[in-house]
Homo-oligomer: A and B are copies of this chain.
Amino acid sequence: MPLVRISLIEGKTSDYIRAVGDIVHNSMVETINCPPLDRFQIISEHNKTELIYDPNYLGINRTDNIIIIQITLNEGRTTDLKKALYARIAQMLEEKLGIRPEDVLISLIEVRKENWSFGRGVASYA
């Protein structure tokens, strides 16, 4: 049920982009009960004029390796589950790709379960 939009600054390889998508998805499976096959991601690359970030907001030092992840998902996860998700994504991106945890921005948009159709023109969860 999640739809994931990942935005980064252009210049990365296809392998890197694919790995970022894999890690974000696996982290969702491991922490917030996302079904393993429930993977739908739209990744977009932007030039530096078009992806703008503050390099210091909240005292967190960000670089051009910033990854902005916006996840639309069903409402109802607890704050603890969300925290586990944030931690897992940042940890795995660092472990597998050497991405600094400071460069990982995550935004969640919660929706109702009847707000999805995953094909065949039917509501998938209602």
Contact = CB atoms under 8 A, between A and B. Distances in A.
Given A105-B117, A106-B116, A109-B72, A43 B50 contact: yes
A45 B51 CA distance: 12
Interface in A70-96: 70, 72, 79, 82-83, 86-91
B50 A42 contact: yes
Interface secondary structure of A, over-half rule: mixed
A98 interface: no
26 contacts: A7-B42, A14-B49, A17-B49, A35-B57, A39-B52, A39-B54, A40-B105, A41-B52, A43-B50, A45-B50, A58-B119, A79-B126, A83-B114, A87-B121, A87-B122, A89-B121, A90-B119, A91-B121, A101-B120, A101-B121, A102-B119, A103-B119, A104-B121, A105-B118, A109-B109, A110-B115
A50 B126 CA distance: 29
